[in-house]
Structures are given as structure tokens and as C-alpha cells.
Amino acid sequence: MQKEKAMPRGADYVKRNSKRRYYTYRKASKKPASLPPMDTEKVKISFLGGMNEIGKNMTLFEYKSDMFVLDCGLAFPSAELLGVDIVIPDFSHIIAFQERLRGIIITHGHEDHIGGLAYLLKQVNVPVYATKLTIGLIKGKLEEHGLLGSVKLVEIKPRDNITLGQFNIELIHVNHSIPDAVGLAIKCPAGVIIHTGDFKVDTTPVDGDMIDLPRFAEYGKRGVLALMSDSTNSERPGTTMSEKSVGESFELLFRKAKGKRIIVATFASNIHRVQQIMDVADTRNRKVAVVGRSLENLVKVGAELGYLNVPEGILIPIDRIRDYPDDKLLIITTGSQGEPMSALTKIAMGEHRKVNVTPNDYVIISATPIPGNEKMVSNVVNALMKRGVEVIYENMYDVHASGHACQQDLKLMIGIVKPKYFIPVHGEQKHLINHATLAESMGISRDNIFIGDIGNCIELSENGIKKLDDVPSGETYVDGYGVGDVGNVVLGDRRILSRDGIIIIVTTIDCSSGYIIAGPDVISRGFVFVKENEELINSIKEIAYEVISDRYDRRYRDWNSVRSKVKDEVARYVLERTKRKPMILPIFMEV
């Protein structure tokens, strides 16, 4: 029988037997089941603020020996941060590697993007890149801190390119609630990263300059490694209302306010809103007074740089409002978020030195409460209404248009950029997760989406997103001139003082004999009213006297031991009698 021809090595061989079954033999591949990925270029991104929070935006980009910072903002303190003025990011990671820092880029002039800049520039000296209006607002910040002459400020415009080491960054114009806002195309050997900054899609912007969607789309056609996109409004369906529609609402409301004085509260940085308010006031022959330091600065800078067209003769000093009848006046003020120290809050509480409200006032709050501020805004509204003031707030009329994209616009951005990886930024956890869900609905795999947190550091390449060890991050509290000198211990003491008060026990001792010659005297603040609680105060005196007499060592004078015992015994007694835990401060004086 003729032998079958041997098949060449590596080829499929099929042998047919008598039952016509088929057996296939294939040569085993020399390739292992999975090869390690090829080494590719990698870029690092560290989130130092703006993730899982509203405000304090700050991101660090690193490629090999080069790095740059995107934005450097602040956040306003929550209610439990007693006495704290502002909160800024922890800069320690940047300062540790400052020799590699090539510059700082700012996307726009809101406080949550520029408010921490002066504090960082006191510790590192690098160029700052921003658009014209943003530079104007930054100059005011630096002047306050005595830094204006020592910092290099570089004015840039959309479609300009900045080279920072091996990074090349192009600015892309976006719509927001402040002019001159930009997104970024960040290019390095690892690929292109698109960062939207804070943005919305406004087809009829007040300044006539629509978001540069064609440029975003061009990058999408070329190939984008990752998209980092604003998540603030990711819970809201539909599209964001145009700012121009707010002007139409003002026209209607100003007519309804016939015969009354109008007070409008808005975000201090919203030049477009201020412009529309002034324009409508001019058509109604009303003079305009501005209240609030930040708002006054914005009007000054905006007018000087040509971003605000102030009708001639319309502005008057706040001191002159008494010279005009109510129906010829309009006051623009800060405090749309109900901030305790803002002008509107002081006006509502009757504490403002120059503005007193009456039932002949018509107040328009032209803003939506930022998450967490709802109660403060409600308190202001209630206080105004108690004074007989008519208040227009929240969704009663279209008196506010958000500066952030809603779901349809967010999906549009994802659709035209077509990123391989998606990273939602700027928002609380619920905003980031909702935005990630939108990205999944647009066809981006869940494995290609990273939801970050403050301190996270990731390595990004064509091979994937790799989470690295966290970097130093967190919050630095600014209280008056002090930066970082208020921490958990100080805040803990302030909470005790605010909740249960303080008891100060003062005792004078003869240093030669060791005997008590005066006291103990008890001073109480925020604990009880002394005149109505003499028995309790006397008992505290007796306990302190007994402890000092028993524990005072005339030879070694161990004051720490005596103080500790006085605190413990008085605290135990006060807790039993009152169920309170005041701060107890024994003071010994030797004479």
C-alpha cells in the first residue's frame, strides 16, 4: 500500500478514517498564551484637588523629568471648620519636586481655580500661563500678597501652544460663566490628553464666541489617549440653558418690580451676568451700585480689559444710594450662596452699614445653590422675607444659567473626542460616577474608565491605566495671616469651645511657703451663666482647692501633675452635674 505523503511541518494535517471522522492536528504555537505588553511611553497624573469635592481644583501632570500644574484653586470652609477663612490644597508633593516644575496653567478666573495660586507662588517661582481676563484677576491676588513684581505672568489665547519641557499644550476656547475660559489638549510622547476645564455648550453666548467644538473634534479624529471632563452637572439631563436667556428673564422681572428698589445677588465672577443686569438697568433708567469687594474688583478689571461695557454714568458709589428714589436704583451684590460674611447675608440680617432693606425692596438671587449651601441660602431668603421683602430665588424664574455642561452636552464631548480612556473630574463622588455611566453608555469600556480621589496618582499609556501609590495631598487651612497653623488639634479645641465653652481656674500661690494666697477663682465662658449657677461654681472652686492643697509639692513644684489632676477632677464633677464637657484650663501664678 502506498504510503501517505508526509505533510510539511507546521501545516494542518487532516486524516480521514474509515468512519469518515475528521481529526485535525495543529502544530503548537511557539507564542506563550499571553505576551507581556510592549513598553510604551507613560504619563503620570496626580489629583491634588477637585475630586470628590466641589472646589480646590488642582492637577499635576508628569512626563519623565518634566511636570506642570493645572489650576490652583480654593474651597470655602464647611460649617465645622470654625474660624477658617479658606481651604487650599496641600502643596507638599509639588514643593518636594519643584526643580522639575516647568509652569502653572490656569483654565479660567474663578476662585476654585485661582484662589490658592498666591500661596503656592510664595513657595515656588515658576511662570503662570492664563488668558487675558484670568491674568487680570490673578494680578489682583498677587498684589494683595506682595508678589506681583516677582512672578512671571504669561498671557495666552485660545489655539496658542505652550511648551513646558516635553509637554506641548494647546488651549481650546470653551463656554463657561466667566469669559476667557479654556480647555487643554496636552501632548507628550505618551499621547494626547484632552482636559475640558469647566465648560458648557452655549450656542448663543453673550459674548458671541461659541465653544470651539471643531477643534475638539479634530483631536478626536487624530486619536486621543484620554479625556478628562467636567462632571459638575452630570446628574442633570438635557442641555444647559444659554446665558442669554437670563437677560430675557431680567427684562420681565425688572418690569414687575415697578416702583421698588431692585437688589440682585449673583456670583462675583460672572461678568456676563453683570453685563446683562447693567444693560437692562440702563434701559429702565436705573442707577447701579455694586456691593462686595470681589464684585467691585471684577467690575473694575472687566471694564479696564474691555470685557465689561459699563454704560456711561450708570455706576454710583454705594454711599450715594440715599440720593436716589427706590424706583431709580439697582444694587448688585455678592452672597448668592448665603455665605455668612457676604454682603447679602449682612443685608438680610440687618447688619450691613450702608444698605437697609424694607418692604419696598425686590431681591433677585441669580444663582443656584452649590451642593452643601442650600441651608445657608434658605436662611438668607427667610431672613429677607421676615422683613417683608419679595424674593425671587432658585427656579421661580430663569434667573440663573449654569456654567457647566449637562448630560447631553457631556455626551457630545465624549462623542466628538472619542477617547480611549475616560477620567471624570471636578465633582463629588456621585457626579464622577454618573459621568462614568454616561461614558459607558457612549461605548467606553468600564475597564477604560478611572474614577479618582484626592491623592490618587495614575500612570497612563496605550497599554492601560495603572494606579500608583498615592501622593501627599489634602487640605491646608488659611486663618487670617496663618497658613497651615490651624490643624485638627486647634479645630478640636474650637469645637469644644463652641459646643460646651471653657472653665478657667486661676490660683495664686506663695512661692516661698507654697500656700494658696488667692483663689481658686473660676471664670466661665460659654459654659454657664455664673450668677445663676453659684453653687456649681463654688463646688468647682472647692475641688480645685483640695487638689492643689493635696498634690502641690513644695520641694519639686510639679505643676504639670497638679494641672492634670485639677482638670480630671473638675471635668468628672462637671460631667456628672451637667452632662457637658467644657474645656478646663487651670492657671497657677507664683508670687
Q: Which of 108, 404, 426, 435 is catalytic?
A: 404
Structure confidence at residue 8 as a pLDDT band (50, 70, 90): very low
pLDDT-derived band at 26 (thresholds 50, 70, 90) equals very low
**Distance of CA 514 to CAs 46, 67, 519, 570, Å?**
60, 64, 14, 22
Average pLDDT, the chain: 85
Comparing 186-200, 258-272, 473-487, the range with the smallest average pLDDT is 473-487
By C-alpha distance, which of 299, 301, 336 is closest to 314? 299
Least confident stretch, 2-6, 181-185, 340-344: 2-6
Enter the C-alpha cell of residue 572: 468628672
**What are the DSSP calls for 473-533, one per residue?**
--EEEEETTEES---HHHHHHHHHHHHH-EEEEEEEE-TTT--EEEEEEEEEESS--GGG-
Per-residue pLDDT at 303 exceeds 70: yes
pLDDT score of 21: 39
Q: Give the pLDDT confidence of 424-471 residue by residue, as tens digits.
A: 999 999 999 999 999 999 999 999 999 999 999 999 999 999 999 999
Q: Kindly tell me if the per-residue pLDDT of 188 is higher than 50.
A: yes
Whether 404 sits among the annotated catalytic residues: the reply is yes
Identify which has the larger pLDDT, 371 or 32.
371
8 A C-beta contact, residue 203 and residue 186: no
Q: Among residues of the chain, what percentage have pLDDT more than 70?
A: 87
Taking residues 132-138, report their average pLDDT. Answer: 93
| pLDDT tens string 550-576 | 765 555 566 777 778 888 888 888 888
Q: Which of 90, 230, 409, 500 is catalytic?
A: 230
Which pLDDT does position 173 carry in this prediction? 97
Report the pLDDT value the prediction gives residue 292, as an integer from 0 to 100. 84
Strongest mean pLDDT among 242-256, 352-366, 391-405: 352-366
pLDDT at residue 266 in the model: 87
The 10s digit of each residue's pLDDT in 326-353 is 999 999 998 877 777 788 888 889 888 8
The mean pLDDT of 224-241, rounded to a whole number, is: 94
Per-residue pLDDT tens over the stretch 65-115: 999 999 999 988 766 776 777 889 999 999 999 999 999 999 999 999 999
Please give the average per-residue pLDDT across 307-319, as a whole number: 90
Residue 396 pLDDT grade (very low, low, confident, very high; cuts 50, 70, 90): low
- For 192, the grid coordinates are 494626547
d(CA 55, CA 48): 11
pLDDT at residue 551 in the model? 64
Q: State mean pLDDT over 176-200.
A: 95
> Does the pLDDT of residue 53 top 60, yes or no?
yes
Nearest by Cα to 330 from 394, 376, 266: 266
Q: Is the pLDDT of residue 2 over 50?
A: no
Cα distance between residue 276 and residue 279, in whole Å: 5
What pLDDT was estimated at residue 499? 77
Q: Looking at per-residue confidence, does 116 or 579 come out higher?
A: 116
What pLDDT is recorded for position 278? 92
Please compute the mean of the pLDDT values over residues 178-191 and round it to a whole number. 95
278 or 490: which carries more pLDDT confidence?
278
Residue 507 has pLDDT above 70, yes or no: yes
Candidate from 166-170, 411-415, 545-549 with smallest mean pLDDT: 545-549
CB neighbours of residue 386 within 10 Å: 9
Residue 379 in this model has a pLDDT that exceeds 70: yes
pTM score over 0.85: no
- What pLDDT sits at residue 395? 66
